[in-house]
Structure 1
């Protein structure tokens, strides 16, 4: 089953990257609507771990499980790598803040290596979860502005055409990166007493600055796991420098169009 999942992901990615999309007016429309060439990666990064609870808290209170927001399946052993609706994951009512809810979700699966992001340690997962809440908070500010001044129907048509605007291509790449990092990176291994070990944090917070047609990342660029202050300070700098103020608007644009139009 594991090999079958990987095969289908790779085939889907190959098809979307090799079959040229028909000419359309969407690139110009999206640019006029305020989107940049970073749009596909920004959106894919911003939605890949969303849940119904997150959508309700940050964007739209009446969101249901039929929300049309695709995400990467956190169950890494499930045969469906990409969910075509953000999942409705139960929230422990004892926690009122998104931070504690995110922490509870991570720690409630901390002994499961096949949940969330493969190869991550618990602290890596906590940082990733809280980083995503930071992303959604920023986008929620821009989303509120779009509620008052909505984009045009043409802009929304193009923003939500994820099969042709690059969003699904990047989301499939993210699915492969979090599910099968050893296939996405020419990673180096260490042999200790006959056992193979790997130590690396494969999430670089740079999904949105990478072109799909560029070579896969060199393993030397991989962050180490967060095990001390020095590594955290480097990773924090990496996160902050890879994000631009305008990024919040582009994610909000997609979410507004997907949830309201």
Structure 2
């Protein structure tokens, strides 16, 4: 029997400083089952704004992201949220707080998947240290998708560390930053063994739209947990 196909996306929304309503419309066009977010609002009123964004995306939010450095995971009604957690990573004061978020979801066929959203820092040594911490926390887990803004290309030290930890890159090697004319692939998705990478699918977006929503473009990929590879096209 074929496994269940699902779409996972990652998106750095720059604290909703740009047109977050447009960002929500773009997410609706992507129609992900799981959305790993970075740089969601964390200050006063942040939770209300994140909840409204989730509603505008047609997705669900666990309702908390305290201590996760602005990372969180939204889930679609096609999945069942089993558990959500948010973790803080140590940084030097007065640097921006860093962290990671995870959501364990149940799929329609009974499979369970953990989606992890990460946003690593600007210092290379800190990024490596934080990536090691996340990998250690995920050791022994079932199927995992790790997605987010690495703040470096996937060929860098963090990417090599994640690959050595058993993950592999998923999706086409397209640059995501800056949104106006992307030159760097900072936003990536990686999957654990047992997850089949299908394709990224086509989402038609007119020129000039991405940069109005955020300074990053999202990245996304279609995946399948177990079973033979399906033909292209969403289920």
Please state which band the TM-score falls in when normalised by the shorter chain. under 0.3
- In terms of Rg, which structure is larger? 1
* TM-score relative to the length of structure 2: 0.26
More strand by share: 2
Greater relative contact order, per chain length (Cα 8 Å cut-off, separation 6+): 1
Higher helix share: 1
